[in-house]
Amino acid sequence: MYQDMWVDPDDDPRETDVQAVDERGVLLEYLRYYRHTLEMKCAGLDAEQLAQRSVPPSTMSLLGLVRHLAEGSGTSAG
């Protein structure tokens, strides 16, 4: 039914009924959604598959993306 979609919308675990009421809530929901997307993309892959480069000219892999995102999580301002 949804041949051009990655996940059937009825089965998509990222979709919730949460309605953000403020700017912080929107940001948190956005981050939750995209973190879950990355987790879904990596699920079931072995180390070799995670390290495989994406489409040229990019040199990024899913593992590289996870590492990149993790670098920013440990920093603090000020």
Residue 77 lies in a domain: no
The answer as to whether 57 is a domain residue is yes
Rounded to two decimals, the pTM is 0.66
15 in a structural domain: no
Task: Kindly state whether residue 32 falls inside one of the protein's structural domains.
Answer: yes
Q: Please indicate, yes or no, if residue 14 is contained in any of the structural domains.
A: no
Which domain covers residue 29, as residue numbers?
A: 22-72
Q: How far is residue 36's CA from residue 7's CA, in Å, rounded to a whole number?
A: 13
Question: Would you state the pLDDT for residue 76?
Answer: 47
Alpha-carbon distances, residue 33 vs 1, 57, 71, 78 (angstroms): 23, 27, 19, 28
Q: How far apart are CA 49 and CA 9, in angstroms?
A: 26
pLDDT of residue 69: 79
Specify if 10 maps to a domain.
Answer: no
Count the domains in the chain. Answer: 1
pLDDT at 22: 93
Return the sign of the alpha-carbon dihedral for residues 33, 38, 40, 43.
negative
Tokens of 36: 């879950």
For residues 63 and 1, the model is more confident at 63
State pLDDT tens for residues 16-68.
787 888 999 888 888 888 888 888 888 889 999 999 988 878 888 988 888 88
Residue 29 token pair: 């929901």
Q: Does any domain span residue 78?
A: no
Q: Is residue 64 part of a domain?
A: yes
